[in-house]
Structure 1
Amino acid sequence: MATGTTSITSDTPLPDTARAQRRILIVLVSAQILSGAGLAAGITVGALLAQDMLDSTSLAGLPSALFTAGSALAAVAVGRLSQARGRRPGLAAGYLTGTIGSLGVIAAAVLNNLALLFIALFVYGAGTATNLQARYAGADLATASHRGRAVSTVLVATTLGGVIGPNLAAPTGGLAQSLGIPYLAGPFLLAAAAYALAALVLAVSLRPDPLLLARELGTTDAATTQTAPVDDSGKGIAAGGLVMALTQLVMVAIMTMTPVHMHAHGHSTAAAGLVIAIHVGAMYLPSPLTGWLVDRYGRLPVAAASGVTLLAAGLLAAAAPGDSMVLLALALTLLGLGWNLGLVAGTAIITDTVPLATRAKTQGAVDVSIAVAGATGGMGSGLMVAATSYPALALAGGVLALAVVPIAAFTGFSRSASR
């Protein structure tokens, strides 16, 4: 197998698909570990940094809204670049953009410049979008009966970096102070380095390109082509997109305000970082099991389970005393698990129903809805907590998540279409 090229010509022998898929997954896993650290670092302190610079709790959800909105634009750009040139340049460019955004946040904190902070957070969102887009690359060469597991392999790799990142909030904050940078901007030093290294790993090692190779194999390997009936395609895209958008909205809203809620009840930054680390672990660590469930029992039953799990998370977060770190951590664990169930199931539905000819472009467009939902949850969460309370936000989010169940029940996209 010639691994130094990104395309396969008609004169080139087709490489062994399974061997190529194993190599691609190894590279994607390596990049995801790095990008997970960059993603989680910003989540941990973004709301606290905004609260400090704006001196307002009502706008504490603004950072989450901004970098999630930025991820919407990035999802389109990464999807289109991947469609035209392949996954390797698309993903590498996305992570490099996230690096620039991280450095911009640091500069804004040093200069105490709110306008620069808002712009930089928007650009930082490219890292979030790219981290999610990488899951599609893991499924490009997977057979229909193994797509859930392929997606989950890429997602679970984010766990290590995602758990390490928040727990480095305090040490990187101390490092930042020693460099004359505000304490809360410290984790963005980690984000910049992590995203830059992820871009380098992908640019150098993601060969052969999974999407380009899948296209080449598409005419000879039925497993890499569209497997759902044409009539189900629109239903599948709508169902997958709605499931992922709803779970994203609820997850981001509750997650964003949890550190602020904990800080208001006397918890330290380290304690908030630990709870977010547990949450991020729950977002990604169950992925292998989720992938198996999706492949074994179908996409839609797992999607419905995500709505029920998110309801439980909202109820527990609403009922937990503000000084109970244990109960808040448990609620955030359920929140991460519910999101994971929805994301893996929704991704498998989308990949099943979109043909190779338009796969990356459509996947990028679907991820825009996820990003917009996340931005809405992030921005609305701060406003709702300021007007009501964190328990009210958590309860409302849990009830809203339950809407995933009827979507899964009545969409009409059958399990057989995913095989």
Structure 2
Amino acid sequence: MTSPAPTVPASIPDAAQAQRRILRVLVASQVLSGAGLAAGVTVGALLAQDMLGSTSLAGLPSALFTAGSALTAVAVGRISQSRGRRPGLATGYLTGAIGSAGVITAAVLDNPALLFIALFVYGAGTATNLQARYAGADLAPAGHRARAVSTVLVATTLGGVAGPNLAAPAGALAEHLGIPHLAGLFVISGAAYALAALVLALWLRPDPLLLARTIAQATEASTAANPAPSDSADTSEGRGGVVLGALVMVLTQLVMVAIMTMTPVHMHDHGHSTAASGLVIGIHIGAMYLPSPLTGWLVDRYGRMKIAAASGITLLAAGLLAAAAPGDSVALLALALALLGLGWNFGLVAGTAIITDTVPLATRAKTQGMVDVSIALAGATGGITSGIMVAATSYPALALTGGALSLALLPAVAATAYRR
């Protein structure tokens, strides 16, 4: 049922027009930040393996920058809650740029302790990249929130796909500058994160969260009987909606990070080049973000629960294929990682829509930040345990375990759908 348009004072910017501008600015910043987050995924594990001479701790970089992203998710959420999305997101990306500079310094000095500290700080970029999706949904009507989220996510694709495939030329540039080859991508990462922070600081105006609150307050004052549909959260699911949305995103993150982290190491152990690993990770990141417009439409059209269930099934298929793929087959590993990215995309868009539907504007940013802490901690767990598990068993065993774990989504989704 369509509600009448609320009465909003003329002095307040038009929400639809502001939303179009906000999405354009977010898209620009996400293209840049996509290139930034690719560095840690592509060469973080290899850099640690090279410096430590051990595979068992190769998952530690992923764990560190995802743990760093957990802390940043809290900070960005709290800054956004009190001051708006613009200062929160800009601060997060600037912190990620500082972390990238620290990784480069650690590589030059061959200092593993500094590397781990810097990777923790670098994780701020990953958290901020994810938090930006919420900014896209602040002013979106309830029936279009998933599509707004997907617009922000898909913008990450260009930088995310290009970033890993710059590993070889970036490494050559780094060596020319006297920097170790594997640290080359972090030069690109630092510059990309710094530019993303600048774009947001200068052009994310009006602030989407602050404007959404202003419109909600003006609407309540002018016509309390007709609250604006774009600003009112569906709280019928209550706490259960937050728990379900968080569970969907936590499990998909855990499985995705665990398998993704060890794939470059698995390929390296089978004689593949850094360029080949970069190609596979680039395809994976493309699958994480590129299908977002279609996923957003599917979530809005067919419902959050069905796409959340599809996420678990897709991740299971990814785990089975990764386990069965011969170590010398780049094509099959690329396909497995593409399915892994697609399953993650289904879960993230559906879970984000569930959370945004459930949480009211008054506490939205803070709650979203706390949910993203859980997501980041799940990623950290997947990252650090993946290396240990591969060292103790094998990469196929890790992939099979991840695929089986993703099936836990199905009973949770089914139980929620039954209660409805």
TM-score (norm 2): 0.95
Q: Distance in 2 between matches of 1:53 and 1:227?
A: 49
Post-superposition offset of 1:114: 1.1
Post-superposition offset of 1:17: 1.1
Q: Distance in 2 between matches of 1:177 and 1:264?
A: 23
Superposition map of 1:102-251 within 5 A: 102-219=100-217, 220=219, 222-230=228-236, 232-251=237-256
Superposition map of 1:39-78 within 5 A: 39-78=37-76
Question: In 2, are the aligned partners of 1:235 and 1:412 still within 8 Å (CA)?
Answer: no
Post-superposition offset of 1:42: 1.8
Equivalent position of 2:377 in the other structure:
372
- The residue matched to 1:224 in structure 2 has which SS? coil
Question: In 2, are the aligned partners of 1:226 and 1:353 still within 8 Å (CA)?
Answer: no
Question: In 2, are the aligned partners of 1:97 and 1:123 still within 8 Å (CA)?
Answer: yes
Q: Distance in 2 between matches of 1:111 and 1:101?
A: 15
- The alignment status of 1:264 with 2:264, answered yes or no, reads no
Post-superposition offset of 1:99: 0.3
Equivalent position of 1:360 in the other structure:
365
Question: In 1, are the aligned partners of 2:305 and 2:417 still within 8 Å (CA)?
Answer: no
Q: Distance in 1 between matches of 2:338 and 2:383?
A: 18
Post-superposition offset of 1:411: 2.3
**How far does the alpha carbon of each residue in 1:356-383 deviate from its partner, in whole angstroms, 9 at most, with x for none?**
0010000000000000000000000000
Superposition map of 1:397-412 within 5 A: 397-412=402-417
Post-superposition offset of 1:414: 7.4
Match for 2:323 among 315, 318, 323?
318
Q: RMSD of the alignment, in Å?
A: 1.2
Q: Distance in 2 between matches of 1:374 and 1:207?
A: 32
- The alignment status of 1:37 with 2:43, answered yes or no, reads no
Equivalent position of 1:84 in the other structure:
82
**How far does the alpha carbon of each residue in 1:245-273 deviate from its partner, in whole angstroms, 9 at most, with x for none?**
00000000000000000000010000000
| Identity across the alignment (%) | 78
**Cα pair distance change 1:312/1:198, threshold 3 Å:** same
TM-score (norm 1): 0.95
**How far does the alpha carbon of each residue in 1:365-407 deviate from its partner, in whole angstroms, 9 at most, with x for none?**
0000000000000000000000000000000000001111111
Match for 2:281 among 273, 276, 283?
276
**Structure 2 residue identity aligned to 1:98:** G
- The alignment status of 1:337 with 2:342, answered yes or no, reads yes
**Cα pair distance change 1:402/1:11, threshold 3 Å:** closer
**Structure 1 residue identity aligned to 2:231:** T
Question: In 1, are the aligned partners of 2:141 and 2:231 still within 8 Å (CA)?
Answer: no
Match for 2:394 among 386, 389, 395?
389
For structure 1, the 5+ residue unaligned runs are 1-9
**How far does the alpha carbon of each residue in 1:91-134 deviate from its partner, in whole angstroms, 9 at most, with x for none?**
00000000000000000000011111111000000000000000
Post-superposition offset of 1:233: 1.7
Question: In 2, are the aligned partners of 1:34 and 1:195 still within 8 Å (CA)?
Answer: yes
**Cα pair distance change 1:115/1:413, threshold 3 Å:** farther
Post-superposition offset of 1:413: 8.5
Post-superposition offset of 1:229: 3.3
Post-superposition offset of 1:224: 2.9
**Structure 2 residue identity aligned to 1:55:** G
For structure 2, the 5+ residue unaligned runs are 1-7, 220-226
210-219 or 61-70: which moved more? Answer: 210-219
Match for 2:92 among 59, 84, 94?
94
Q: Distance in 2 between matches of 1:204 and 1:414?
A: 46
Q: Report how many aligned residue pairs link the two structures.
A: 405
**Structure 2 residue identity aligned to 1:396:** T
**How far does the alpha carbon of each residue in 1:112-166 deviate from its partner, in whole angstroms, 9 at most, with x for none?**
1111111100000000000000000000000000000000000000000000000
Q: Distance in 2 between matches of 1:78 and 1:116?
A: 24
Q: Distance in 1 between matches of 2:55 and 2:371?
A: 31
Q: Distance in 2 between matches of 1:189 and 1:41?
A: 9
Match for 2:24 among 15, 23, 26?
26
- The residue matched to 1:222 in structure 2 has which SS? coil
Post-superposition offset of 1:412: 4.6
**How far does the alpha carbon of each residue in 1:319-363 deviate from its partner, in whole angstroms, 9 at most, with x for none?**
000000000000000000000000000000000000100100000
111-120 or 312-321: which moved more? Answer: 111-120
**How far does the alpha carbon of each residue in 1:146-196 deviate from its partner, in whole angstroms, 9 at most, with x for none?**
000000000000000000000001111111011111000000000000000
Question: In 2, are the aligned partners of 1:43 and 1:64 still within 8 Å (CA)?
Answer: yes
Q: Distance in 2 between matches of 1:189 and 1:159?
A: 19
Equivalent position of 2:294 in the other structure:
289
- The residue matched to 2:163 in structure 1 has which SS? helix
Equivalent position of 1:4 in the other structure:
none
- Runs of 4 or more, structure 1, over 4 Å off, are 412-415
- The residue matched to 1:181 in structure 2 has which SS? coil
Q: Distance in 2 between matches of 1:369 and 1:331?
A: 25
**Structure 2 residue identity aligned to 1:342:** G
**Structure 1 residue identity aligned to 2:313:** V
